[in-house]
Amino acid sequence: MIKFIFEVLGVVSLSVVEGYIKNFDDIDVLW
């Protein structure tokens, strides 16, 4: 169960990082 929770957290954190990278790309384009 704990391993499953860690796997979910890992997937969520990856999604958040990808979202930040996409936002960074948008900011670079705006600047």
Query: Tokens 């704990």, residue?
Result: 2
Chain CA centroid to CA 18, Å: 4
One-letter amino acid identity for 13? S
Model-level pTM?
Answer: 0.53
- What is the per-residue pLDDT for 24? 77
pLDDT digits (tens, 9 = 90+) for 1-31: 889 999 999 999 999 988 888 887 776 666 5
The CA distance from 10 to 3, in Å, is 10
DSSP symbol at 31: -
- Nearest 5 degrees, angle CA 21-CA 14-CA 31? 5
